[in-house]
Structure 1
Amino acid sequence: NCRDVAPRNIADRVLMGYIGNTDEYLDVAMEVIKDEGIIHYHESVPDKLKYIRPADRLRKAANGFDIDILNQRIIKPYSPGVYHMVVDAKIYKN
């Protein structure tokens, strides 16, 4: 499990391209990022929440770090009324 083996403070970028329970690992992504870096976070999202929920989850996981949402976009329809979204966020730990 990446929670146990991921090195800390080593990455300029973290790609979280798996769709499923990816939000459960956002805290690990925050620990892996150096003093600043970019997280590319993917999530399957109901239409009404597509530009809200992924960014909100990133902000919550930042847990006091500064965060800039750089981009949010639809990758593709996932199922009826659900979209595969990606959010690119810059994290600043200092």
Structure 2
Amino acid sequence: MTNEELFNDLKQFIDARLSQEMTHVATKEDLAGLATKEELARLATKDDIKGLNTRIDGLETTMNERFDEMMDAEIVKDHERRITRLEHKLA
């Protein structure tokens, strides 16, 4: 085996080894899809989510109270009385 043949074999071995190792390395296209630090910083934290849940619970309570007020209104009660009268007439 001459030095040139040995050198070519060594180059082929190094090329094959590098190709094998490079299959596990991310490409620029792979990295382009990852989130940046700025994007990660904009994500909601657990405290933000807890705050939103508290606000939603407050809104739910407010809406329920408002609904109860509407149901207690004289117009609704009068409407219910009329329906009850109609039901009695039909029976």
TM-score band, normalised by shorter chain: under 0.3
Q: What TM-score, normalized by structure 1, do the two folds share?
A: 0.18
Q: Larger RCO: Structure 1 or Structure 2 (Cα < 8 Å, ≥ 6 residues apart)?
A: 1
Say which one has the larger Rg.
Answer: 2
Q: What TM-score, normalized by structure 2, do the two folds share?
A: 0.18
